[in-house]
Amino acid sequence: MAKKTIIVSNRLPVTVNKNADNSLSFHPSSGGLATGLSTTYKQGGNLWIGWPGTYDHDQKEQEHIAKELKKDNMAPVFLTKNEVKKFYEGYSNKTLWPLFHYFTEYATYELDLWDAYVHVNQLFCNAILDHAEPEDTIWVHDYQLLLLPGMLRDALPNATIGFFQHIPFPSYEIFRLLPWRKETLDGVLGADLIGFHTYDDMRHFLSSVNRLLGYDSSLGLVKVKNRLVSVDAFPMGIDYDKFEQAADSSKTKQKVIAYGDLLSKNKSILSIDRLDYSKGIKHRLLGFDKFLSRYPEYQGVVSLILLVVPSRDKVDQYQHLKEEIDTLVGKVNGKYSRMNWSPIHYFYRSFSFEGLSALYKASDVALVTPLRDGMNLVCKEYVASKTDQQGVLILSEMAGAAKELSEAILINPNDENQIVDALYSALTMPEEEQRSRMKEMQKKVRRYNVHRWVEIFMNQLDNIKERQTAMNMR
């Protein structure tokens, strides 16, 4: 049987919804990962395995979902309500997410959440074993599945296993706070190739591997028992052509017209994120408040378009943050609004692809200021959408993307004054300078697009496997 490739991530590229009348509907996700990997998992016998986003389905519903997903080369891992609570909302998003984003005060360490994490990683492993052959290639994604490479290695010693972490890997001093730190590293090291977005994340990982497990590394290669594991940086890109083409499409132009005054009358600053404390939305609002007070000539002239996409709303910190953002937006709008002008246009919902494209295309400034971010693709989407090369990107140094996009105005998001100064520089930047900065960024984002990212990772995975085979034959 031909070798196949299995992609595994917590979420499938399709989400299942249970409607009020108990019928099921299927919604494709347009996320970057789904686009980048679509040519891979849709080919031949390849497959994508993951959670369809719901819980507690009876046997009949499970069969129906599995049958529908199979048509598109996908297979579900079903979770119960309790597993979603403890594995997804719990250990993944109350322990790992805050810790890995340096929010140590938010991280909770609870044994029953850890137990659920081990159990659900094992459920994923079992689901893969239902489909995998011993020599298949399996590419596991992200922090929800850190133990899976190790479990797969035990079950399929010869499989080719890749792992990519989409969020930061923290420095050793942070990582060692985790009670299950050794088990976690052992799990990840089951892979043949381990990828991070940045060189810094890769160094942090290798440092923890060395200090906690005692394995040395040289040029990103770690000898783990009789295996050679490669660790490297692969900065993820976007589907450049899709955003570039959309920006000049008639659908986007119609949207720009539909948004009317919001985009044409005033200068606009764009802010787009999932609702998350790592994104620095509060800091951004405080910075904008200070900007309007320091430069009153911009009152009535510039508006912030604030898109906050609902996310993880069962987790306390996310609920609390939502309230804080609502309050701050209210305060700023209450302070500066005029009868014919609002400083902030706030949307708490998702937007259509054309809607986003129109906002990217027509806004004067993008304000992307996470406190910590593995990569951040919003800034790359903004760059790709600027077909007339007019527009300024303000980007946090704490986003992985800052390593590549050095022509953006780079700022420390914790420094309100830097946000204020950056906004002023962006709004007064001469057109020629905007063009030359944008052009340089476009070259990089176009070249290192998501398809290239997949290709480079997959090639390197094959290479390391060949090296291992050669090593074992010696």
**Catalytic positions, written as ranges:** 166, 373
The residues facing 21 across adjacent strands are none
Distance of CA 320 to the CA centre of its chain: 22
CB of 429 to ligand G6P, least distance (A): 30
Q: Pick the binder of ligand G6P from 4, 7, 8, 11 (CB under 6 A).
A: 11
Distance separating alpha carbons of residues 325 and 286, to the nearest angstrom: 10
| Residue closer to ligand G6P, measured from CB, 146 or 441 | 146
Distance separating alpha carbons of residues 318 and 348, to the nearest angstrom: 13
The two tokens of residue 115 are 């137990």
Binding of ligand G6P by 312 (CB under 6 A): yes
Distance separating alpha carbons of residues 48 and 140, to the nearest angstrom: 10
Binding mask 152-171 for ligand G6P (x = CB under 6 A): --------------xx----
| Residue closer to ligand G6P, measured from CB, 167 or 384 | 167
CB of 356 to ligand G6P, least distance (A): 16
| Residue closer to ligand G6P, measured from CB, 167 or 281 | 167
Distance separating alpha carbons of residues 358 and 256, to the nearest angstrom: 5
| Residue closer to ligand G6P, measured from CB, 312 or 446 | 312
Binding of ligand G6P by 176 (CB under 6 A): no
CB of 357 to ligand G6P, least distance (A): 20
3-state secondary structure of 268: strand
CB 41 within 8 A of CB 7: yes
| Residue closer to ligand G6P, measured from CB, 147 or 256 | 147
CB of 53 to ligand G6P, least distance (A): 8
Binding mask 39-68 for ligand G6P (x = CB under 6 A): ------------------------------
Instruction: Compute the residue count for the chain.
Output: 474
Distance separating alpha carbons of residues 108 and 260, to the nearest angstrom: 46
| Residue closer to ligand G6P, measured from CB, 239 or 407 | 239
CB 204 within 8 A of CB 167: no
| Residue closer to ligand G6P, measured from CB, 167 or 308 | 167
Distance separating alpha carbons of residues 93 and 85, to the nearest angstrom: 10
DSSP string, 371-425: SSBS--SHHHHHHHH-TT---EEEEETTBGGGGT-TTSEEE-TT-HHHHHHHHHH
CB of 7 to ligand G6P, least distance (A): 13
The residues facing 347 across adjacent strands are 307
DSSP string, 295-339: -GGGTTTEEEEEEEE---TTSHHHHHHHHHHHHHHHHHHHHH-BT
The two tokens of residue 299 are 């009152």
CB of 89 to ligand G6P, least distance (A): 9
Q: What angle do CA 274, 280, 282 make, to 5 degrees?
A: 100
Q: Which of 57, 44, 45 is nearest to 16 (CA)?
A: 57
Binding of ligand G6P by 284 (CB under 6 A): no
Q: Pick the binder of ligand G6P from 249, 299, 311, 342 (CB under 6 A).
A: 311
| Residue closer to ligand G6P, measured from CB, 127 or 304 | 127
Helix axes 378-385, 353-362, angle to 10 degrees: 70
| Residue closer to ligand G6P, measured from CB, 181 or 312 | 312
105: exposed, middle or buried (C-beta count within 10 Å: 0-12, 13-18, 19+)?
exposed
CB of 167 to ligand G6P, least distance (A): 5
CB of 11 to ligand G6P, least distance (A): 5
By CB under 6 A, the count of residues binding ligand G6P is 6
Main-chain phi, psi angles of 105, to 5 degrees:
-70, -20
CB 416 within 8 A of CB 400: no
Site for ligand G6P in 188-227 (CB under 6 A): none
Binding of ligand G6P by 142 (CB under 6 A): yes
CB of 274 to ligand G6P, least distance (A): 6
Binding of ligand G6P by 181 (CB under 6 A): no
3-state secondary structure of 51: strand
Binding site for ligand G6P (CB under 6 A): 11, 142, 166-167, 311-312
